[in-house]
Structures are given as structure tokens and as C-alpha cells.
Amino acid sequence: MIVALGLVIAFVLLLIFTNRKTRLCRWRETRREGDSQWRCIYCGAETTGSRGKTPETCFRPDP
């Protein structure tokens, strides 16, 4: 019973703290001098940003 309650609580916390804006995004980093080029494997969106910090917004082009 305690294990089931723990799983429910973990699931609720996961839903609360995940970022829905980038839920489907899978970012891959290409490092450059000074910054990084980020490309989403899911939709192909590209952006630049700081090294090691994935983008927090989805840049998916509208269909």
C-alpha cells in the first residue's frame, strides 16, 4: 500500500515539475567557440545558447 501511494505521489510531482513547453523536445548540442548550437531531434528546430544549458522553450515551426 505504501509503495502504491509513493508511486502516485511521484507521478503527481512529475506532472507538476515538468516543463510542458519542451516535453517532446530532445535537444542535441553542437559546441562552438563561445556558445553552442542546439538542434531538436524531434522537430528539427535550431537555436543558439549557452554551453551545457538546454533551451527552455520549444522553437518548433508551425505546420
Q: Is 27 contained in some domain?
A: yes
Note the pTM of the prediction, 2 decimals.
0.57
Q: Is 48 contained in some domain?
A: yes
Q: What is the pLDDT of residue 8?
A: 93
Q: Is 2 contained in some domain?
A: no
What does the mean pLDDT of the chain come to?
82
Q: Is 41 contained in some domain?
A: yes
Q: Is 10 contained in some domain?
A: no
Q: Is 7 contained in some domain?
A: no
- Strand 36-40 with 46-49, pairing: antiparallel
Q: Is 46 contained in some domain?
A: yes
Host domain of residue 45? 19-63
pLDDT tens string 29-55: 998 888 899 998 888 888 888 888 888
Q: How many domains does the chain have?
A: 1
